[in-house]
Amino acid sequence: MPTIRIQLNSLTGLRFFAAMAVVLYHLRIYVPQISDGLAVFGYGFTGVSFFFVLSGFVLTWSHRSDVHSGRFYWNRFARIWPLHVLTMIVSIWTPLLSATTSATFSAVPFVVTLTQAWIPGSPFLTSFNGVSWSLSCEAFFYLLFPLLFRKLDGHRSVARIAGGVVAALALAGLSLSAFTSISVADYLLGTMPLYRLAEFILGMCLATVMKRGWRPRFRLVHAVGLSAISMVVLTTVSVIFMGPSGGLPVICANLVMIPSFLAVISASAGRDLSGTSGGPASRALARLGQWSFALYLVHELVLRLVRPLIGERPVEDAWTAAAILIVASIALSGLLHEFVEKPAEKWLRSRRGSKMKPPATPAEVHHPGE
């Protein structure tokens, strides 16, 4: 397959919206006075699924078969590890920021090595900077990526593989939800890297068929509309059947949203390939998208630090505080990206003598989710 070097700038901008969905989801939890006003973001955690799919898509789109696996692994390490460790250290030495009260230094080896998501029932999963559990999944995806890429690159019927992955997702999800306890299902279907690998593979399949010439026949506005409708349906069904304080299982929310995520990604990529400018490919959104990894890693730390100051203040004050928290988190993410993330990545890449590419482009996407 010939190497395609077209950069899909729209995908960088989309990362910011996915990160903000997660931010607003956590905002509802930490500032309960405004939770009703942010009800549609009750399923904002599905933004992590978006990043898993997007990560598989972009890495497959930009990867070259002649790139040695060792170089790929080192570049991924340089991309996510420095900022992850920094936020972990900050949370360790600031007890107020620790995600779980049971977190101890015994969790450090697992969190540092991004293996915490492989330990069922362990408090290590959300120790220190709790959102880093998703990086544990991404590290597993990266480990398998060179092998998966070779398999997909030479396979004739990628659509059949994608269909099998979707069927396996649904079957495993429904079976485990029906025959296991809620806590077991939440782990196996929510945070276990092996199950979440399916979302990454779907992104890889989508990128492969687009590299072979397939283009969506729908526009980005239609895909975004589908995503919005899916989120509203989730919220409405949850209120009707689970009550205002209830919620559908994580697996159900992710399965409902994944088709619209695939639609948004493919439509955005199609825009870039056709030369359409603006929208998520704009310079401002691209910059915010570059900050999305830092935003993902710091926003909950900011929320935990400020929450005691908000307390039980009136709703009007809570909304003002929420707006300030969002702006502060975005500003902090920009500083971290420019003065920690980029320099650290550049320095680590230089240790292997690899030529530094501009970070946070679609060719170097990372999980906020990266």
**328, pLDDT greater than 70:** yes
Burial state string for 323-353 with b = 16 or more CB within 10 A and e = fewer than 16: eebbeebbebbbebbeeebbebbeebbeeee
For residues 245 and 243, give the distance between their C-alpha atoms in angstroms, rounded to a whole number: 6
Per-residue pLDDT of 150-209, as tens digits, reads 999 878 788 888 888 888 888 887 777 767 777 777 788 889 999 999 999 999 999 999
**37, pLDDT greater than 80:** yes
Kindly report each contact of residues 171-176 with a partner whose C-beta sits within 8 Å and lies 24 or more positions away, as own/partner. 173/251, 173/252, 173/255, 176/251
pLDDT value, residue 153: 85
Per-residue pLDDT of 91-115, as tens digits, reads 887 766 655 545 677 889 999 999 9
**333, pLDDT greater than 80:** yes
How large is the average pLDDT for residues 260-276? Answer: 93
**63, pLDDT greater than 60:** yes
pLDDT value, residue 12: 92
Burial state string for 71-92 with b = 16 or more CB within 10 A and e = fewer than 16: ebebbbbbbbbbbbbbbbebbb
Better-scored residue on pLDDT, 306 or 142: 142
In this structure, of 145-154, 178-187, 227-236, the range with the lowest mean pLDDT score is 178-187
How large is the average pLDDT for residues 279-283? Answer: 82
pLDDT value, residue 270: 93
Q: What sign does the CA torsion over 225, 230, 234, 237 have?
A: positive
Residue linked to tokens 């935003």: 295
**6, pLDDT greater than 80:** no
Instruction: State CA 19 to chain mean position distance.
Output: 7
pLDDT value, residue 99: 56
Q: Which of the given ranges, 96-105, 214-223, 268-277, 280-289, has the highest pLDDT on average?
A: 214-223
In contact, 262 and 53? CB cutoff 8 Å: yes
Residue linked to tokens 């099998």: 164
How large is the average pLDDT for residues 283-302? Answer: 95
Q: Which amino acid would we find at residue 44?
A: G
Better-scored residue on pLDDT, 20 or 103: 20
Q: What percent of the chain has pLDDT over 90?
A: 56
How confident is the prediction for the chain on average, in pLDDT?
86
**365, pLDDT greater than 70:** no
Classify residue 137 as exposed, middle or buried by CB count within 10 Å of its CB (0-12, 13-18, 19+): buried
